[in-house]
Amino acid sequence: MKNLTMIAAVSLGMTVSACAQVKIPDAVKNAFQKEYPGTKVKWEKEGGNYEAGFEQKGHEMSVIYTPTGVAKEKEMEMAVSELPKSISDYVSQHMKGAKIKGAAKITKSNGEVQYEAVVNGKDVMFTSDGKLVKAKEEEKD
């Protein structure tokens, strides 16, 4: 039991330490605070960029920033029922028996909108008019 407690304590310490090691550039922090003042945020490194995860108006959101503080894309959780009908129709017709378990709206920095639907454990991306873009294994938090 002592060993299990020690392992848990060390693991927790390593997790906290790993999270604390992510150094967010001032330009990124400033850009986030300018757009979302006073918002509690969780930062993660994503490739060469930085992802801010937070809640706004009861919805989970994330914004991906370049190291210079430029927002590349914004993702906002949404109800499955809010997805465009063309996406629901696509899933019904091409993924027989599949059910959409979650949804998000993604807005790229150029204004392009895509939708993400979680279907059978995959993140399935669609254009704003319901055309399939790609499917990938769902990322675990």
Is the CB of residue 45 less than 8 Å from the CB of residue 22? yes
96-117 tens-digit pLDDT:
889 999 999 999 999 999 999 9
| Domains in the chain: boundaries | 2-137
2-137 sits in which CATH class? alpha beta
In terms of pLDDT, which residue wins out, 56 or 134?
A: 56
Integer Cα distance of 104 and 11 in angstroms: 32
Average pLDDT of the chain is 85
Q: Mean pLDDT over residues 124-132, rounded?
A: 93
pTM for the structure as a whole: 0.76
Q: What is the pLDDT of residue 19?
A: 47
Q: Mean pLDDT over residues 117-125, rounded?
A: 93
| Residue 66: partners with Cβ closer than 8 Å, 6 or more residues away | 28, 48, 49, 72
In terms of pLDDT, which residue wins out, 130 or 75?
A: 75
Integer Cα distance of 131 and 140 in angstroms: 25
